Amino acid sequence: MAAIEILGLEKTYSVGFWRKRPKLALKPLHLAVEEGEIFGFLGPNGAGKTTTLKMLMGLVYPSGGSARILGKAINDPEMKAQIGFLPEQPYFYDYLTGRELLEYYGQLSGLSGKDRSRRVGDMLNRVGLRDAADVQLRKFSKGMLQRIGIAQSILHDPRVVVFDEPMSGLDPMGRREVRDLMEQLKHEGKTVFFSTHILADAEALCDRVAIIHLGELHRVGAVAEITSDLCARVELVWPGKTVPASMKALGAECRVSGDTVRAVISKANQDAALEVLRRERLHLVSLTPVRASLEEYFVAQLNPNGVAAGARA
């Protein structure tokens, strides 16, 4: 059974004060997130990621389609006992202390007295806020707020965790901590569904990703699978400082560093490049395939005008 099953979910907002006009936020979206995987929901700002997550959480009503989480409809409040949610740039009741906030959320999640207190203590330890447990949230830094946000989302031991831009605005250490925590959650058997526009995080973490742009789904799959669609390239390395003109003519991106030349060239021109090296009596040191990054995929597939090049659902 899929942990999250999205069946044609779509959203159109009405904008304007006097003359309402429709604004499409999400075209019918079909997506399935399997249990136990870390799934990245990627796309530039305004792509429709947050709208999708809000519909899953029942904060925004879909204009069409449906979705199920752990086999239950998203408008079933009892299903939410099995879900943890961290909104984008979370803001919490700043008059509460960290402990009081978690106690409150524990009560709303239906945790009973003793169990709740134990879990609150455990969670404060887990996110490194034990010493700040009795400090009011208005004195928390942004990183601490993100940590208490994560704590509240997993306090009730949910089976599915949904994070909206969990690394946004965090420093490198904070991002690393969040990544580690997400991996721990996966090891505990939980399903992690998170949105991000920080592609390096998605590459480092995700079993699978979905790419969305202008409210439309473009690709779903493993990162390697998606990036393999890009024109495959190889890197050639040889000693010396000589870069033959015929190598440049093949479209190679050459870089001389010290006594080594590195040239990146499309795989289609690999044989021709090797022939050039042989003809120029240059000795090949290594030939390695270059793996494209998600960032390169974004640049290649989603052009600045927002029209996808070679898009495939």
Q: What is the contact surface with another protein in residues (CB under 8 A)?
A: 13, 54, 57-61, 77-81, 83, 85-87, 89-93, 95-96, 100, 104-105, 107-110, 149, 152-153, 156
Three-state SS for 87? coil
Taking the complex as a whole, how short is the minimal distance between the CB of residue 151 and another protein, in angstroms? Answer: 11
Q: Which is nearer to another protein, 41 or 298 (CB)?
A: 41
Minimum CB distance to another protein, residue 59 (Å): 4
Residue 107 or 242 with smaller CB distance to another protein: 107
Rounded least distance, CB 162 to another protein, Å: 8
Helix (H, G, I), strand (E, B) or coil at 273: helix
Q: Cβ 5 to another protein, closest distance in Å?
A: 18
- CA-nearest of 9, 3, 14, 54 to 27 is 9
Structure tokens at 185: 């959650």
Helix (H) or strand (E) holding 83: strand 83-86
Residues in the chain: 313
In whole angstroms, how close is the CB of 268 to another protein at the nearest point?
A: 48
Nearest to another protein of 29, 277 (CB atom): 29
Beta carbons within 8 Å of 207's beta carbon, 6+ residues apart: 37, 38, 39, 222
Q: CB nearer to another protein: give 82 or 266.
A: 82
- For 169, the token pair is 């605005």
- Tokens representing 192 are 């992690």
Tell me whether residue 83 or residue 276 sits nearer to another protein (CB atom).
83
